Structure 1
């Protein structure tokens, strides 16, 4: 019984260009053009989910997907850093930023640790693997990273070594608790 999970990262928004901790902002004009061009390019799926962020919901909508929103696939909660740029936070709290980048249990921003994010996503993946078939989810890049970390059973600090470009598909396929990972391909009509 094989389960195939396709994780689609959303089109770019202004927060990514500004290197801003997501503030649930809209897609950029360029992001909208790109996602509209990709509409209809994803294979059919038995179950379709979306992260609750505005950016992911809009990406799913523009791709023509009817998806169920789930909090389990929300991006990492960044607490007091939400909406601020990385430069602003680094200037105001350089030790905290350094710790955040090196300690997967850091919650000094008042949000969620990377380990908590990975555990949450691992729980969702485990539930998805109970049924064979195709699952498609439009999720924030940090959720894609967390899923890859979980699927590969690597240490959480590998999270920072994974790049997830906008509007790419990361595919997990597996059975019996073992996953294979295909990273960052462009949407296509396979």
Structure 2
């Protein structure tokens, strides 16, 4: 796994202390450092809420003070690549498909609530729902592996066109499907 995406960081927050005047304030150093293109999502009474205002974060903002956890969510689109293994009749001729997905956060609160920090297992799980695809190449003998690879390529494109991955809070689009075979040029 590379850098986490879309949830870059999660933190449990201790209760915000009261000042000498009895006002609760949170030390902003307790929160993840915001990077360009990110937003903070606070767990407030079990509901995940994106910070409702723009501008500098203040230590006495209600959701900052009462939050029990915070997540840093990357809002910039990111390409996520997955490697999908395909079995052949001869294990030496096994190959894989590398699929690139462009992923963009639509709802930061939804992805924070799910704790989505690695999309690859979800995307691979979606591809794996088609068991026939994983074993399609076993129907071909070793001399016909390039043809098997083309069949797998077409099936992946068709599956993703008919049933694209649906992960709440994200827009996901297929960018590229590449078959990787040793020594065949595919």
TM range (shorter): under 0.3
Determine which structure has the larger helix proportion and give its number: 1
Determine which structure has the larger strand proportion and give its number: 2
TM-score in terms of structure 2 length: 0.26
TM-score in terms of structure 1 length: 0.26
